[in-house]
Chains A and B, each alone.
Chain A
Amino acid sequence: MIWLNQIINGVLLGGYYALIACGLSLMFGVMNIINLAHGDLAVLGAFLVWLICEHTGISPFIAFIAVLPTMAALGWVLQRAILDRSLRSGILVPILSTFGLAIVIENLLFSQFGADSRSLASVMGSLSYDSWALTSQIYIGKLAVLIFAVAVLLLLGLHVFLKRTALGRAIRATSEDPDTAELVGINARAVYATSAAIAVSTVAIAGLFLGMRASFAPYAGPAQLIFAFEAVVIGGSGSLWGTLVGGIVLGIAQNIGAQINPNWFLLAGHLTFLAVLIGRIFLRELLAHGMIPALLGQRS
């Protein structure tokens, strides 16, 4: 029973990871940018929601309606003003510029809000800790289920958007090859800016739930980044459904690890991540060169 509880909690935790990882996956998939400011953008989103709630006393969900377009606009500006320029200078510069951006966001938040930790939980009644008790050992948190459902809906929505709409097709085409896409009349810069806007909007959703589930402070961003990153890699970079699978695999691995030994929570997650990474490289070698060279690590 305890194991079942661990697995259920692991799956739900995976939903949260998928939610934070979604924007990261999108930016990497479309623009090939590894956004190191991802966690900090989530914290920024959480702060914006908190700011509105604190001043008006309204529900964080309603406050979020105002924050979403702000964050989307921010994503758009970010792409136009910073990332576009850095993309022209090779692969390292975009990473460095998001690194710089992360530092700027952290310190702006610190100078505005100070070091205090905040949470949205205090303005949403008991939702942050309500649960359904299935048996005396299995409890399912209502917020965790909500987060999982939002993650699935968001990924489903993005999937349909990318597959079925003209803009979605343009994004996919640009991600394959921006130059060729431009030849057939797609404005790659506009597509990039739109993708960034969408990605940062999803980060805002992640920030909303970060604020409800945990607490946040100006320097809390980087801690969010690592799990998002692992979920993306486990699920296969650039694949949206893969991100959900990756998040769930990570969540289950961590919770089962913790049940065996409390110290193995992070370790089990990291090992799973490493195993998938090595497995994937090995598999690629295997497919390309056959069994023996792959085992020996030789390239023919």
Chain B
Amino acid sequence: MPKNDVTKAPRGSRGGLSRRDFVKKAGIGASGLALSGSFPALAQAAPADTLRVGFVSPLTGPLGGFGQGDPYILSIARKKLAHGIVIHGKRYAVKIISKDTESDPTRASQLAKELINRDKVDLMLSTSTPEVVNPVADACEAAGMPSLSTTVPWESFYFGRGAKPGKPSPFKWSYLFSFGVEQFAQAYISMWNGPVKTNKRVGFLLPNDADGNAIREHMVPLIEKAGFTTIDAGPYEDGTTDYSAQIAKFKAEKCEIFNTFPIPPDFAVFWRQAAQQGYTRMVKIAQIAKTGLFPSQVEVLGSLGYNLATGAYWTPTFPYKSSLTGLTSPKLTANYEKATGHQWNQQVGMSLALLDGGFAALKQSSNPKSKAAVAKALSTLKDTTIIGPIDFTKGPVPNCYPTPIIGSQWVKAKPGSKYKLDLVVTDNADDRHVPVAAKLKPYNA
């Protein structure tokens, strides 16, 4: 059903079946999630020495996978900030108000307005897909609210919201650090020129949606320029249930490299049919993006999921420390897996990096209670987060800083592992500080 109507149920379903779940969630500190916003009176009466930070992300709905780690990340940030934060010698109490967009862009926009007008936040943070970040950033631009975001291809954030190449940035308040199409291209070219020898013919399966068309327009030419022959099976609609036409084309064109940016359920259907029709047996490198971000999306493929290559925006082997919490990547991973029982995912690191960057901006501003001062601090923000350095003075376009895509591969977990799959780093063209753990294996190895 339309996503916006899906919303009431988590509250309504709290009794009976999901009570245990609810108590568990509340126990790990996500209680602010359900309770935040219920004290508007208190909000208005907030003392001048409290910093209020909005955190908008998708926790439920089709994008809920991105938000899986957010309650945990917020809980460690809140714990760290329980006694406030000292900026220019003054101690401020900190309140992080988190909101769930329920995967609905309209609701994301509403929530942002609520946070600005009712909760009177001093800084807005948002993450995970253009459907969350773009409406929030737009609301912040309109209201003059400093805003920092992540996990949206920076081209979608910048050009997708109306900025023009070569023209001055139309944005004064909203900033983003994230990977983009260029980072994908760089990582892929390096990976495809690596240890697995191919005929350099790349088959692209790109849907007719915002991401698919951005890749078609901006990335495919870069791949072509790097000496590969590209075969685009043509735009298809999300939700397609049969791919025999595309598969026949990839087979006829002998594409030994395969690349796709589909929505996850479509890929499961496509890849099984590709196996059925004999295409997967001739593929040497199968490179997937957008799907395969989370282990469950690869697990559903069974043995067809082993050796799929992908690009990661954070892994537990990143060599950086969180500037807010001091956690290293391996420590964060271990704590997360222990506390939640879930295998780590890339967004866990990225969400923490967003908090790292946001609080670094507050610290670097001349006055964290002044919106103009915080926005100014964002425009020159320099910080080393858990996913690596960000520096808004050095982006390809104003308001954006590109973070790396690290070539990696899903492999069968070692015997004795708690999980079915491991993601290992096989290439580091975008950031040489991330250690390469293994050589890329051919898909059919």
Contact = CB atoms under 8 A, between A and B. Distances in A.
Q: Do A and B make up one complex?
A: yes
Interface of A: 2, 5-6, 9-10, 13, 16, 36, 99, 102-104, 106-108, 110-112, 114-119, 121-123, 126, 128-131, 133, 137, 139, 141, 143-144, 213-217, 219-223, 227, 251, 254-255, 258-259, 261-263, 265-267
Contacts of B299: 122
B236 A141 contact: no
Interface string B247-276: 010000000000000001100110011011
A108 B68 contact: no
B241 A116 contact: no
B242 A251 contact: yes
Of B8, B68, B276, which is in contact with the most chain A CB atoms at under 10 Å from its CB?
B276
B237 A122 contact: no
B2 to A, nearest CB: 8
B78 to A, nearest CB: 22
B242 A255 contact: yes
Q: Is the interface of A mostly helix, strand, loop or mixed?
A: helix
Contacts of A2: 245, 248
Q: Is the interface of B mostly helix, strand, loop or mixed?
A: helix
B21 A213 contact: no
B94 interface: no
B302 to A, nearest CB: 4
A74 B245 CA distance: 40
Contacts of B296: 116-118
A227 B5 CA distance: 21
Interface residues of B, number: 57
B162 interface: no
A128 B300 CA distance: 11
Nearest to B304: A129
A128 B245 contact: no
Given A5-B248, A121-B300, A103 B236 contact: no
Interface string B389-407: 0000000000000000000
Contacts of B233: 262
Contacts of B61: 219
B301 interface: yes
A219 B60 CA distance: 10
Given A10-B242, A110-B64, A115-B64, A130 B265 contact: no
B1 A222 contact: yes
Contacts of A251: 242
Contact of B297 (A114, A117, A139, A267): A117
Contacts of B3: 219
B208 interface: yes
B18 A108 contact: yes
Interface string B176-207: 00000000000000000000000000000000
B17 A112 contact: yes
A194 B396 CA distance: 65
23 contacts: A5-B244, A6-B245, A103-B5, A104-B12, A106-B6, A107-B9, A111-B18, A116-B296, A117-B65, A117-B297, A119-B302, A122-B302, A129-B273, A143-B276, A214-B265, A217-B265, A219-B62, A255-B242, A258-B245, A262-B245, A262-B246, A265-B245, A266-B240
Contacts of B240: 254, 258, 265-266
A106 B1 contact: yes
Given A117-B264, A129-B276, A254 B242 contact: yes
A5 B275 CA distance: 15
Given A122-B301, A215-B264, A223-B265, A116 B245 contact: no
Given A104-B12, A126-B303, A262 B234 contact: yes
Contacts of B18: 108, 111-112
Leading 7 A-B pairs by shortest Cβ distance: A107-B9, A115-B64, A129-B275, A119-B300, A122-B302, A116-B296, A262-B234
B236 A265 contact: yes
Contacts of B8: 103
B340 to A, nearest CB: 10
A167 B18 CA distance: 39
B235 A262 contact: yes
B278 A131 contact: yes
A184 B147 CA distance: 71
A263 B236 contact: yes
A129 B21 CA distance: 36
Nearest to B249: A262
Given A102-B1, A107-B6, A111-B18, A121 B302 contact: yes
B235 A263 contact: yes
A240 B163 CA distance: 54
B272 A128 contact: yes
Contact of B276 (A16, A103, A130): A130
B236 A262 contact: yes
